[in-house]
Structure 1
Amino acid sequence: MTEPAATGHVDCAGDDVRARVAVTRSLPEGPSRRLARHARVEVWRGEGPAPEAWLRAACAGAVGLLATPADRVGEDLLVTCPTLRVVSNLAVGTDNVDVAALTRRGVRLGNTPGVLTAATADLAFALVLAASRRLVEARDAVLEGKWTTWDPGFMLGLELAGATIGILGAGRIGMAVARRALAFDMRVLAWSRRGRPADGTGVEGVEMVAMDRLLRESDVVSIHVALDASTVHLVGAPQLALMKPTAVLVNTARGAVVDQQALLEALVSGRLAAAGLDVTEREPIDPSDPLVHLPNCIVLPHIGSATVATRTAMAELAVDNLLAGIAGKRLPSCVNPELDSI
């Protein structure tokens, strides 16, 4: 089956009584087919995020919206689509959605936790390895002809065995990174706002500590907190100043958790050895941003969950949430459960 064009509906016969939904990105074939069997679907297929005008038009009269982290869903959109019952976000994080505005209007919000834990943890640890062992810098040295002989002092990096990793955010993904770090014979410290791992995620061998201690003692700091008002610039100049000058910072959570200007200054000045980022404060980051061009900073285009299996599983759960919402059933994963009382 072929998906509909960007501006058209699926099988929109005049007497079609299926609920109307908007989807801001093409989905994998399986979830897409399943959604089309149960709803009239309008899909944005253009380049980049769905334009605001398209989103307003597509959501007018729709009962459901399947959005991505690139889409802003707030009061200005909601006032134009009073029939909306459910928003399904193709992500764990919901910082692109005004949850309070949805809740005030009785619109349920679904997300996709759990299914992307392993893929995101793998990517985080890939950045730990790449930044610690200077892999991108070493590859560039080969391309630039700087590899002229074997030199005992060339491209020295951080050895992970015996080193300490500090994990900011002891939820599913943070603890999955902890398990990977333990397999590399690392000492693991962790911090969370609640002072303990999220329920059911605890890992033997992880020591929960205060944030200041974690920053001072860690050779690698990996960030795994959700973005909200309390975590914007959670890691800024004061926190970076606590870290070892030989330390590595990895962020696969959300860009705004780190003060990007403070990070740039720390990397340039030598106050921090290296960083690996899958997220930035503004996405996509400007290719001319100096952070992108630092030899000791790896910047990736937000690919933490980018495996075939994980993106398919995310889409399946997002469709489950959307279909449950338009049917008036309990969402498999609901962000505002006070509305999900059926």
Structure 2
Amino acid sequence: MKQRVVVYKKLPEALAQRLQSEFDVSWFDRVTEANRADFIAALKTAHGMIGASLPITNAMLEGAPELKIASTISVGVDNFDLEYFRQRGLMLAHTPGVLTEATADTIFALILSTARRVVELAGYVKAGQWKGSIGEAQFGVNVHGKTLGLIGMGRIGSAVARRAHHGFGMPILYHNTRPNPETERELDARYVSKEELLAQADFVCLMLPLTPATERMIGAREFGMMKRSAIFINASRGRIVDEAALIRALQDKTIYGAGLDVFEVEPLPVESPLLTLSNVVALPHIGSATHETRLAMAELAVTNLIAGLRGEPVPHLAV
């Protein structure tokens, strides 16, 4: 008898066929209130599950006694209770590595577009407001040679640092759970305290996973320590930041601006003050959103799932 798999995100056709050839598959392109009960019912007999962008609660999994592995099409695993997985002996697979460069590109796009006011001024042109040479009211700030501060120096942080060092001649400060000697040698990066980084960096870039220890770790105190000319970049997880404090810092010009790909609530509510601020570039969580990268993530997630169900070594386990 075939093992049963629940898919809760639309997959490319070739990958869907790969799963269908080996498993009994229940398909959910996405889970909504309308089909949530059917999704939970399908989990009751599932041996594996694969998808993304849905909080998977312990209550959902309590009714899934046959489950062996959950494979998420993401590097982040904050939609799962890791301790619950450990206690039950369940495998949780994820997709690190394949999205590193695309996400680093997005982060650098936020740095450049916020500093040079690209989105704001593109709108200025499209609205027909460009009537002559621009003046100081439309000037941005330099990126080349400015100090980049990275809070977190994993794969993606290192990729951003390479772009900054080799492409833009930026001195690099970083704060991490531990020093990264390889990055220090390669990129002349300097390990500093979080407080020193906040005080000295021209661009403060948040590069951390969401955990109980990192939730809301950046708030009014931290924004107050930054330069008034500093630009804050977040493409990790919105809940690492106290968003209300960020909004106040931007409104009061405590900091110069922010480039954001993630938010406390997603999609970002239309009434959010962030949408009214000219010193904010806001993107719809596109960090890894290229055709090539999303395909690679889905391929790796399917490979992880199949290995786990076959009893083979899983390439990338979070738990």
Tell me if both proteins adopt one fold, taking TM over 0.5 as the criterion. yes
The runs of 5 or more residues in structure 2 that have no matched partner are none
* 1:50–1:40 distance in 2 versus 1, CA, 3 Å: farther
TM-score normalised over the length of structure 1: 0.89
Which segment is superposed worse, 261-270 or 37-46?
A: 37-46
Asked if the contact 1:74/1:101 (under 8 Å) is kept, the reply is no
1:21 and 2:16 correspond: no
Among 17, 21, 35, which residue is 2:19 paired with? Answer: 35
**Counterpart AA for 2:108:** F
**Counterpart AA for 1:300:** L
> 1:146: Cα distance to partner?
3.0
Secondary structure of the 1:265 match is helix
Residues 178-205 of structure 1: CA deviation (Å, up to 9, x unaligned): 00111111111111022x1398897431
Q: What pairs with 1:158-307 in structure 2 (closer than 5 Å)? A: 158-182=141-165, 183-194=167-178, 196-197=179-180, 203-307=186-290
Aligned to 1:333: 316
Asked if the contact 1:168/1:191 (under 8 Å) is kept, the reply is yes
Aligned to 1:14: none
Asked if the contact 2:8/2:31 (under 8 Å) is kept, the reply is no
Residues 260-285 of structure 1: CA deviation (Å, up to 9, x unaligned): 10000000011111111111011111
* 1:25–1:197 distance in 2 versus 1, CA, 3 Å: same
**Counterpart AA for 1:227:** L
C-alpha separation in 2, matches of 1:104 and 1:23: 24
Aligned to 1:339: none
* 1:23–1:200 distance in 2 versus 1, CA, 3 Å: farther
Asked if the contact 2:31/2:39 (under 8 Å) is kept, the reply is no
Asked if the contact 1:49/1:71 (under 8 Å) is kept, the reply is no
1:155 and 2:138 correspond: yes
* 1:317–1:201 distance in 2 versus 1, CA, 3 Å: farther
Secondary structure of the 2:187 match is coil
Asked if the contact 1:116/1:310 (under 8 Å) is kept, the reply is yes
C-alpha separation in 2, matches of 1:270 and 1:241: 10
> 1:56: Cα distance to partner?
0.5
Aligned to 1:74: 57
**Counterpart AA for 1:192:** N
Residues 284-314 of structure 1: CA deviation (Å, up to 9, x unaligned): 1112211122111111111101111111111
Residues 25-49 of structure 1: CA deviation (Å, up to 9, x unaligned): 1112232222222212112125768
Aligned to 1:64: 48
> 1:259: Cα distance to partner?
0.9
Among 52, 68, 71, which residue is 2:36 paired with? Answer: 52
C-alpha separation in 2, matches of 1:222 and 1:122: 13
Identity over the aligned pairs, expressed in percent? 39
Secondary structure of the 2:174 match is strand
Residues 238-266 of structure 1: CA deviation (Å, up to 9, x unaligned): 01101111111111100111111000000
Which segment is superposed worse, 281-290 or 150-159?
A: 150-159
* 1:209–1:91 distance in 2 versus 1, CA, 3 Å: same
**Counterpart AA for 2:50:** L
* 1:48–1:290 distance in 2 versus 1, CA, 3 Å: farther
C-alpha separation in 2, matches of 1:321 and 1:238: 41
Among 282, 297, 301, which residue is 1:314 paired with? Answer: 297
Asked if the contact 1:172/1:198 (under 8 Å) is kept, the reply is no
Secondary structure of the 1:302 match is coil
C-alpha separation in 2, matches of 1:125 and 1:190: 16
**Counterpart AA for 1:44:** F
C-alpha separation in 1, matches of 2:156 and 2:272: 29
Asked if the contact 1:256/1:281 (under 8 Å) is kept, the reply is yes
> 1:90: Cα distance to partner?
0.8
Q: How many residues align?
A: 318
C-alpha separation in 1, matches of 2:43 and 2:80: 15
C-alpha separation in 2, matches of 1:84 and 1:185: 50
* 1:212–1:49 distance in 2 versus 1, CA, 3 Å: farther
* 1:328–1:225 distance in 2 versus 1, CA, 3 Å: same
Which segment is superposed worse, 206-215 or 25-34?
A: 25-34
* 1:93–1:49 distance in 2 versus 1, CA, 3 Å: farther
Asked if the contact 1:278/1:304 (under 8 Å) is kept, the reply is yes
